[in-house]
Structure 1
Amino acid sequence: MTNLRATPSAPADLDGGLASLRGDCARMAPHWAAPEHAASRPVSPSRIHGVTVPTRSARLLDAMSDYGD
């Protein structure tokens, strides 16, 4: 049998600022479990490759003053 009862969701605050976003994150944090820390191992330089960015995305970032200028 399917449980059709839905839990009410918080209304989206589209005009909220950073404080609103931080509050949303603080309310959601208990719902996410942190993964156990795995020891990182060195990566061979031969396995490191460049990053491919689609031309359209590169142009978009280039047009943003925070990134392109």
Structure 2
Amino acid sequence: MTNIKVHTSTPVDLEGDLASLRGDCARMAPHWAVPDRAVARPVSPSLIHGVSVPPASARLLDAMSEYGD
């Protein structure tokens, strides 16, 4: 059996519903740090190498219609 340790006076409801889950998330939200947004930079095509596509995947993509058809 798992020993659940809780650091709150709120009782743990293991068979809870959506409202219980939302309450748990709201209590945990202050503990989650949001990382700074990293800006993606374009990569030169000459730096992209070593990508291989299995033949079955290439055939699958080749058989797909173009977007908007």
Fold shared by both chains (TM-score > 0.5): no
TM-score bracket, normalised by the shorter chain, equals 0.3 to 0.5
Going by fraction, where is helix more abundant, 1 or 2?
1
Query: Normalising by the residue count of structure 2, what TM-score does the alignment of the two structures yield?
Result: 0.43
* Higher Cα radius of gyration: 2
